[in-house]
Structure 1
Amino acid sequence: MTNPTEAERLKAEGNTLFVKKDFAGAYQKFTEALQHDDKNAILYCNRAACSLGLNRYLEAYTDAEKATELSSTYAKAWSRLAAASAGLGKPDDAISHWKRALAVLPVENLTPAEQKQKEHYTAELKTALARKAASERHQPVQVIVKDADSPWNRAVPIIQSLPTPGWNSSAWIIVSARQFWVYGCEAMNQLRLFPISTGTGCFGLKGGIEGFSNALLQDSRTFSIADKEFFDKYNRQMIFELTETRAWSNGSSRTVMQDAPKRLQEEGWDATRPALAITVRGWIMRAFMQSNLTPDVEAALDFYTSAIEVLSWGIDLWKDVPNSEKGSIFQPSFLRGVKCLRLDAMLQTQSFLDEISRGAQDLIDDIASAPMEPPTDTGLYGHYLSFARYPLAQAHSLMGFCRRKTAMKQSKDSAESLANLRAAAESYARAAEYIPVDDEKHVSYLHHSFDCLLDASSPAAELVAILDRIHEGIPIMRRIWQFSGDAPMRDAMLSNDMRMRTRLLACLQNGTLQADTVVNRDMLQ
């Protein structure tokens, strides 16, 4: 990614306005200027630079593309378009645009500034070519689980044996998510290509992208790939549905929010609803794949942020419009699901502590403002778990994560550090309370709670109590999740916990430790 140094590069080019802290303010200034002169390529190019500095690649792409349309020989505009393409995970486009940026520079008698541009663009082109070669060598991760051992198949008999009401089981959430995923695959596999006079045509079923995105929002652990042609088929399905619905394939959230009301006024909800749905769902899918199949988390966050902006805007603008008209994406639970996925992506970088903490608190406040009661209809069990209980668990676990990270930055064994570790342990324990005992996340959250208590040095009885809960939860969890994608790392973690439990119990039994003896990690090594 080129953008972590975007501020320094822009400053080096002489654009002193674009210091990182000023990107948002500068963006607004260029937006105001464009209201008076919307045919000025320089203004669009400069606003694209601001978006790049803010890691908003969709916005940057839209503005840079507009700048190149207004001035096809504007080298800097092509360079912005190349950088935006790279940020969006479009290596071929990035290479093409860097080449175009070089091509429109003078061949000879370059000024010092132009020579500097040429050197920079040449270096970026070389980097783009190297990254494309690396990506071609890197095959997308294939998550394959033997069908009989998959959590969704092991969950089916669990559902059949649950008491009434039996909503508090992870079986509901993974089976429901898997049904959406299977529907997406079935729609995708029915797409057919055929030759036409102008190239290649296709026919198929719409709804594949809806199925896939619903599955991820319900429980992203359902993501699994056994078909070697999955990504090619998925891309064809995405293009098919984008074309059929006339969705915004390259537009930013700003573009969508400008164009959608116009389309609604001219063509009505039947034309606008599917276009909005595929645009937003496409961003969700792109974000998930960027964050889980490539190391490009920043691009993923941009797609998630764009989706959240459009969803929040639409929920507010069309709050009085029936869901049957505006569509399911503008329901608060849908927005909540996207926020959860975005927080998952942020967690991968472990460098957004303040934003993660705010996002977690936002989830807690959001659910508290409109609490959901456990449903009586079994058909709603999965939805209730996915968009009420699990977001609360995620929010509290993220609070625990942030507090633990804060403690690690403080002096070891200081009052502040110990207080944060105990607060983190409490948050993780609370997260476990919202998760069904038969979910692997339940014991994982308890493990993190135990880990924090151990780092904080805690009474032996307190440590044994939480280890006992883990011990009781392991066989229950394995009925569904024994062979999950996280099983190897999870089982190694839990095995270590059980070894420490055995040691603690032995020490309590032989009198080496008393119930109130304060135990730290070194004592159990």
Structure 2
Amino acid sequence: MTTAVELKAQGNALFGVKNFAEAEKMYTKAIETSGDDDSKGLAVLYANRAACRLSLKRYMDADGDAKKATNLDPTYAKAYARLATSNDCMGSYDKSKINWQRALDALPKTNLKPAEEVQKAQYEAGLKAASAALTKLENTVLGQDGRTFIVRGEGRMPWDLAAAIVPRLRVQRPTAGSPDLYSSAWVIHGAYEDFMNGVRLMSRIQPREPAGKWAGMLGAITSLTNGILRDSRVMHFPNGDFITNYNKQVSFEAGAYNAWTEGGPEVVIREALARQRKEGWQVTRPALSVTVRAWIMRGIMEGDIYNRHDVAVEFLKNALHVIRTLREHWILESKDDRGIIFEKTFVFGIQRLYLDAIMQSYRDSAGSTEILADLLKESEALIREIDEALRQPRSQDPVDPGFLSSFYIYPKGQAYAMKGFYYNKMSVKGNNDPPAFFCKAAIEYLAAAKCYPEDDEHHPWFLHVALGNMLNARSFPLRETLDVMKRIRVATPKAKEIWERSSLSAAGVWDTLGKVATQEQELRDAVAAGKFTLDACIGIELKD
């Protein structure tokens, strides 16, 4: 039988050649083989596995391993350093600052060896960087970049405008052209009602003894996440106490349900299976729900508020991993036992957020083709899964008019748009045939636009992005180009009725879309004057 020492040596060799996945397996076997009486040796194995998981970008699992290492050996400087690194990677700079200092404190005070001198310099640099990041975070005014996150301000917000339209939709008779009264008003109105119910529940949070404990109303995190999964554009600060109250609410609900507040997906999966066998569904179901929903909220906040999109990817990816893994274990269990988080619609909502986080992390990267490949893979998977789900008989339980759009059609539209983004970026990555990639991008963005009603801002915007790719491809006849321009012109005022004030509008989308109508008229005049034919494939530069 291979000993723990031998397995560790094999892990070290694999780590040395950067085969982190196989090294992690060896350290795991070494941990399983090692005796509990060797706490310092076990601490080294956990710290080494944490290093592998950091390299594999599994930051939450790395965090759990590093904590085990420091618990086993509180004098182990490297373990604190790896814990601090995982904190940095997840944007927890307050914890990072503490753990970098602990790493320094664990080093000898005098007569440092050359290797320890190097460690000291690294830890001091880590402490300085964490302190600077924390200071910057504490002095950042949130919501000023105008991308996705909105601070509640004066004026009519999309949910306000939708609330005025929904009563009209309720009494309006369906027509052949709109049998289901297809409108984005249903989606954002439903999202807002769920989100604000969470805000109202959250406002009831109160301190109780002992200090640091809270009392309040359960269910706030469920309502907040339900609203965001319906339409993430509903995320905003209704008041200045939102983040403070939210943090208190998470502490309260996590304590009430014994949810997982430490450790990554590996820990949650293992302990959830054990808890269900020992304590049953009534205990396990709410604990899992709060854990997964808190990760979703952390993902949306990291991405849309703090612009740490790689951290958002980590939390959303882990939420999906836990749900998918446990669903396989509990595939024969009933929906009521497992809970809503295991329903396909819930997962589709997370996948939509995950795609956006991946795309934003690509923009933060130096043009990583690996991230682009992940984006394409996840987008194609989501489209397949939704198509398969739509072919299956669905529950006859009554749902609101925006349910199908929120949890099937909009996520599919997002996936098509992400495929379009992929092909557009690939067109400039040294390929021999850029027009072919522009053509594919245009087709995917046109498919994305079809998934949104004309009165959703995404409909004319994705048409506009498709138009830009069509013109770059120079392979679409002018009649098709003019048709897309007309569709933009027709949809823009409808979308503006609801989305006049949104994060997309803050980026100047309405001015951009308005200029398309001018260019459309110029092209139609050119055709009438005989300068072009409708079959001509031309390229023009869109006006900003």
Structure 2 length normalisation: TM-score? Answer: 0.89
SS in structure 2 of the partner of residue 193 of structure 1 = strand
SS in structure 2 of the partner of residue 202 of structure 1 = strand
Which residue number corresponds to residue 480 of structure 1?
Answer: 498
- Matching residue's letter, 1:469: R
- Matching residue's letter, 2:114: P
Determine whether 1:516 maps to 2:535: yes
Deviation at 1:394, TM superposition (A): 1.2
Q: Which moved more, 1:394-403 or 1:70-79?
A: 394-403
Which residue number corresponds to residue 150 of structure 2?
Answer: 143
Which residue number corresponds to residue 146 of structure 2?
Answer: none
374, 377, 382: which is aligned to 2:402? Answer: 382
Instruction: Give, in whole Å, the separation in 2 of the partners of 1:97 and 1:37.
Output: 27
Determine whether 1:427 maps to 2:434: no
Q: Which moved more, 1:208-217 or 1:37-46?
A: 37-46
SS in structure 1 of the partner of residue 518 of structure 2 = helix
Which residue number corresponds to residue 273 of structure 1?
Answer: 285
Deviation at 1:116, TM superposition (A): 0.8
Instruction: Map 1:154-165 onto structure 2 (within 5 A).
Output: 154-162=161-169, 163-164=173-174, 165=179
Q: In 2 relative to 1, CA 114–360 (structure 1 residues): closer, same or farther, beyond 3 Å?
A: same
- Matching residue's letter, 2:201: A
Instruction: Map 1:354-373 onto structure 2 (within 5 A).
Output: 354-371=373-390
Q: Which moved more, 1:24-33 or 1:215-224?
A: 24-33
Determine whether 1:444 maps to 2:456: no
Determine whether 1:99 maps to 2:119: no
Deviation at 1:267, TM superposition (A): 1.7
- Confirm or deny: 8 A CA contact 2:351 2:411 kept in the other structure: no
45, 48, 51: which is aligned to 1:49? Answer: 51
Instruction: Give, in whole Å, the separation in 2 of the partners of 1:456 and 1:27.
Output: 46
Which residue number corresponds to residue 499 of structure 1?
Answer: 518
- Confirm or deny: 8 A CA contact 2:254 2:290 kept in the other structure: yes
- Matching residue's letter, 1:258: R
- Matching residue's letter, 1:478: K
SS in structure 2 of the partner of residue 370 of structure 1 = helix
SS in structure 2 of the partner of residue 519 of structure 1 = coil
Deviation at 1:378, TM superposition (A): 7.0
Instruction: Give, in whole Å, the separation in 1 of the partners of 2:22 and 2:348.
Output: 29
Deviation at 1:21, TM superposition (A): 5.1
- Confirm or deny: 8 A CA contact 2:516 2:543 kept in the other structure: no
SS in structure 2 of the partner of residue 360 of structure 1 = helix
Instruction: Give, in whole Å, the separation in 1 of the partners of 2:202 and 2:396.
Output: 34
- Matching residue's letter, 1:161: R
- Matching residue's letter, 2:263: G
- Matching residue's letter, 2:200: E
Deviation at 1:260, TM superposition (A): 1.0
Which residue number corresponds to residue 304 of structure 1?
Answer: 316
Instruction: Give, in whole Å, the separation in 2 of the partners of 1:383 and 1:499.
Output: 37
- Matching residue's letter, 1:140: L
Instruction: Give, in whole Å, the separation in 1 of the partners of 2:309 and 2:204.
Output: 32
Q: Which moved more, 1:326-335 or 1:156-165?
A: 156-165
Which residue number corresponds to residue 22 of structure 1?
Answer: 19
Which residue number corresponds to residue 294 of structure 1?
Answer: 306
SS in structure 1 of the partner of residue 390 of structure 2 = coil
405, 408, 413: which is aligned to 2:425? Answer: 405
Q: In 2 relative to 1, CA 215–523 (structure 1 residues): closer, same or farther, beyond 3 Å?
A: closer
SS in structure 1 of the partner of residue 286 of structure 2 = helix
Deviation at 1:147, TM superposition (A): 6.9
Instruction: Give, in whole Å, the separation in 2 of the partners of 1:440 and 1:38.
Output: 60
Which residue number corresponds to residue 3 of structure 1?
Answer: none
- Confirm or deny: 8 A CA contact 1:167 1:378 kept in the other structure: no
Instruction: Give, in whole Å, the separation in 1 of the partners of 2:103 and 2:21.
Output: 26
Instruction: Give, in whole Å, the separation in 2 of the partners of 1:86 and 1:450.
Output: 41
Q: In 2 relative to 1, CA 59–136 (structure 1 residues): closer, same or farther, beyond 3 Å?
A: same
Deviation at 1:427, TM superposition (A): 1.1
- Matching residue's letter, 2:166: I
Instruction: Give, in whole Å, the separation in 2 of the partners of 1:449 and 1:208.
Output: 39
Deviation at 1:377, TM superposition (A): 7.8
SS in structure 1 of the partner of residue 33 of structure 2 = coil
Give CA-to-partner distance per residue, 1:321-373, whole Å, 9 cap, x none.
22222210011221121111111001112241100000011011111222167
Instruction: Give, in whole Å, the separation in 2 of the partners of 1:201 and 1:339.
Output: 34
Which residue number corresponds to residue 249 of structure 2?
Answer: 237
Instruction: Give, in whole Å, the separation in 1 of the partners of 2:188 and 2:292.
Output: 23
Q: Which moved more, 1:124-133 or 1:377-386?
A: 377-386
Identity, % of aligned positions: 33
Deviation at 1:287, TM superposition (A): 0.9
Instruction: Map 1:36-75 onto structure 2 (within 5 A).
Output: 36-37=33-34, 39=36, 40-75=42-77
Instruction: Give, in whole Å, the separation in 2 of the partners of 1:488 and 1:498.
Output: 20
- Matching residue's letter, 1:306: N
399, 403, 414: which is aligned to 1:394? Answer: 414
Instruction: Map 1:189-338 onto structure 2 (within 5 A).
Output: 189-194=203-208, 196=209, 198-338=210-350
SS in structure 1 of the partner of residue 282 of structure 2 = helix
SS in structure 1 of the partner of residue 401 of structure 2 = helix
Q: In 2 relative to 1, CA 376–58 (structure 1 residues): closer, same or farther, beyond 3 Å?
A: closer
Q: In 2 relative to 1, CA 269–337 (structure 1 residues): closer, same or farther, beyond 3 Å?
A: same
Instruction: Give, in whole Å, the separation in 1 of the partners of 2:234 and 2:281.
Output: 32
Instruction: Give, in whole Å, the separation in 1 of the partners of 2:212 and 2:12.
Output: 46
Which residue number corresponds to residue 32 of structure 1?
Answer: 29
Deviation at 1:509, TM superposition (A): 2.5
The CA RMSD over aligned residues, in Å, is 2.2
Deviation at 1:266, TM superposition (A): 2.2
Q: Which moved more, 1:19-28 or 1:225-234?
A: 19-28
Deviation at 1:311, TM superposition (A): 0.3
Structure 1 length normalisation: TM-score? Answer: 0.92
Which residue number corresponds to residue 4 of structure 1?
Answer: none
SS in structure 1 of the partner of residue 214 of structure 2 = strand
Deviation at 1:18, TM superposition (A): 3.2
Instruction: Give, in whole Å, the separation in 2 of the partners of 1:175 and 1:497.
Output: 29
SS in structure 2 of the partner of residue 381 of structure 1 = coil
- Matching residue's letter, 1:65: K
- Confirm or deny: 8 A CA contact 1:193 1:201 kept in the other structure: yes
SS in structure 1 of the partner of residue 254 of structure 2 = helix
Which residue number corresponds to residue 9 of structure 1?
Answer: none
- Confirm or deny: 8 A CA contact 1:503 1:524 kept in the other structure: no
- Number of matched pairs: 507
